[in-house]
Amino acid sequence: MRAIFLGIFGLCLAIAVADRDTELVADAVEELLYSKRAARVVYEKPEQSQEVSDEGEWVLKVHGGLENAIRIANETNIALKRAVRGFDNLFVFEQAYSEHSRRKRSIGELYQHLQAYSDVDWVEHQREKRRVKRGLMWQRQSSPTTVAKFNDPLWPVQWQVHTYNTSKKGDMRIVDAWGLGYTGKGIVVSILDDGVDHRHRDLAPNYEPRASYDLNGNDPDPTPQKDGNNKHGTRCAGEVAMVANNSICGVGVAFNAKIAGVRMLDGRITDRLEGEALSMNANLVDIYSASWGPSDDGKTVEAPGRLASLGILKGIRNGRNGRGTIYVWASGNGGSVQDDCNCDGYAQSLYTFSVSSAAEDGSFPWYAEQCPSTLTTTYSSGGRRTRMIATTDTDNKCTTQHSGTSASAPIAAGIIALALEANPNLTWRDVQHLAVWTSNPAPLYSSVNDWHVNGAGLVVSYKFGFGLMDAYEFVRQGKTWQNVPQFKACATEFPGFAKRSVSSNFDTIITFETDACKGLSNEINFLEHVQLVADIDHQRRGNLALWLVSPSGTKTRLLKPRPKDTSNAGFHFWPFTSLHTWGENPRGRWQLMVDDTSNNASPSSGVINNISLIIYGTTEMPSHYGNKKLYADIDLNALQQKRNLEVRSAFRYINKRSTEAPPPVDHLEEIVELEKRKTVLHTLENGFSR
């Protein structure tokens, strides 16, 4: 049995403006999502998988600056510790707790008390977050080859940098990119991790102390603790910027780039700490590389907190003289437990450059996650019979044991550094477009089942994004790249939305339309990111699967079932992000399909409380769209035939049920006009307030 609901009329909100005003676009959208989540629960404990312990740290946004912060501290008898690094009018307060029961009661009371101050914009209690490094732990030895180009001892086994077979089919063409004359000179890459051993002889010449800091130890030196558990950041740093031809370890992808380190994973991690890390010395940093995230346990759903989001937005709006800092993010290592990277709000953010992994033979690694927000892929470890990544290790050592998506993100950061040296005018969105346009599916193509063609003719995969990064094309095209048109965002909401049941007895299908803000200043004709924002209550969240069909017929799986996710917390205004309709025209009829995959022996059910669609893109066609992206060594005809079948199937099903009438238009229009005034005012008010 299937249930279908037709005729939902969307309300388009003008919340986006030109690229130079990215601050307003980002603020409005983020505040829209954040305020909706906050409206559900004023003060709630996080899920067990997210919480480690409570401490007495609070962050307040105080109008009037330090003077008012001091007054509030005196009146509330809590200690004002300092300002939050990198932000205006944000302050850290601390209260000591003596009894567990009193502490729990005090948190709620103090929250209400602090929020009551008229000069306090918002209050957040800082809870410890559990974060995992996205490397793997096993030991094996790599077999060296006979290849030699540099005198660095690990160069022969740096297969991820060079492939010297005759076809070079699997080569990321990093050496070819160097041949264009670019090695990362003048670019600063910051490794956000457990520290960087900057005294390592293969890193020291490229170390940038001015962009580095130890947030765990509160000092300028990000050197990791020598306990054997904090090698991760040093390994990531080496992939980017090991010095070439010095007879030590290996050669970095951007071996003349400057490398910085922010030590932030070796201690208590809070939203405040993440916010500081993600904007640390943003005036000096071109690229942040993050090979960590929420637990890849197949049951966690977690987004950046308010301060982490503000940190990223600060980099996007102010970094690189307004062109935007690049945030490279490892997509996650939860593949073995069927995790989905669309449940990781860091990897699936529209502001991050999400990178997946491929093994040396081009296969999809057992640890990697699938989702439609993955942008591109670089090499890393695979199974036990494939080689890992060679790089620096702590204490002046070298290693051939770096692995996981942790190893993929720094390679991407190095390639981006080459392109930024070639063209410093590239914006954060140009870098994403370059990845879409130059990533190559061919080295990773083994089956038509893993790849799809969208309505704009782009080939994309849940496993690998748009393909394997091609450093040569990324740099060559980036050198003469014309900046993409102004950044627009259009939110389509449904004020008259009627709740829909979700059950294993039927698929819930919601069909709705958007005009993509046609005729408004933020009209979108060419898609980039799509976010389906869903508010769903469900007895067992892991049973849910979500699909979205675009007006051109592209069917995207937004979420696959996660067997280990037994939570009844549902999804509260969670933005499921997709890149799979990149380049399409969003105007027309969309279809959301929500499937409860539970069986009769253990049925579950839920309710869809509301949905909204936020689309991002441009009014004008990006100039590079004038030349169609070309593909070689893949079966494009088979992919197109597969698409044709999927499109016909999707539209046939919609048309079959099209006799079901929508709710009365006049009633909806009445609701829409009433809500339009309130919602637009609320959105613009929040978007312009920071």
Range list of β-strands (E), 162-217: 188-193, 213-214
**Nearest CA to 240 among 122, 413, 118, 399?**
413
Task: Identify which of 498, 324, 403, 345 has the alpha carbon closest to the alpha carbon of residue 133.
Answer: 403
Phi then psi dihedrals of residue 265, to 5 deg: -100, 0
Catalytic entry in 125, 162, 198, 232:
232
Torsion of CA 308, 312, 315, 318, to 10 degrees: -90
Q: What DSSP element (H or E) covers 122?
A: strand 120-129
Enclosing H/E stretch for 379: strand 376-379
369 CB burial (10 A radius; 0-12, 13-18, 19+): buried
* Annotated catalytic residue within 193, 202, 286, 470: 193
CA 506 – CA 501 distance, rounded (Å): 9
Tokens of 193: 């991790």
Catalytic residue among 406, 408, 567, 604, which?
Answer: 406
First CA to last CA across the chain, in angstroms? 49
C-beta atoms surrounding 121 within 10 Å: 15
Q: How many angstroms separate the Cα of 276 from the Cα of each of 89, 129, 528?
A: 14, 15, 28
User: Quick check: 35 and 540 in contact, CB under 8 A?
Assistant: no
Cα separation, 45 vs 417, in Å, equals 40
DSSP secondary structure code for residue 359 in this structure? -
- The alpha-carbon radius of gyration of the chain (Å, integer) is 25
CA dihedral 387, 389, 390, 396 (to 10 degrees): -130
Q: Are strands 90-94 and 51-62 parallel, antiparallel or unpaired?
A: antiparallel
The Cα 13–Cα 4 span in angstroms is 26
Q: Are 468 and 172 in contact (CB under 8 A)?
A: yes
Distance CA 189, CA 412 (A): 11
DSSP at 341: G
Using CA atoms, how far apart are residues 430 and 416, in angstroms rounded to an integer? 11
SS3 274: helix
406 is catalytic: yes
CA distances from 341 to 331, 345, 462 (A): 6, 8, 10
Token output for 635:
């079966």
Cα–Cα dist 465/580, whole Å: 8
DSSP 536: E
Q: Is the dihedral of CA 672, 677, 683, 686 positive or negative?
A: negative
d(CA 578, CA 562): 18
DSSP H or E run through 612? strand 605-618
Closest CA to 302 of 268, 336, 342, 355: 342
The verdict on whether 194 is a catalytic residue reads no
Torsion sign (Cα): 436, 438, 439, 445 = positive
402 catalytic, yes or no? no
For the annotated catalytic residues, the residue numbers are 193, 232, 406
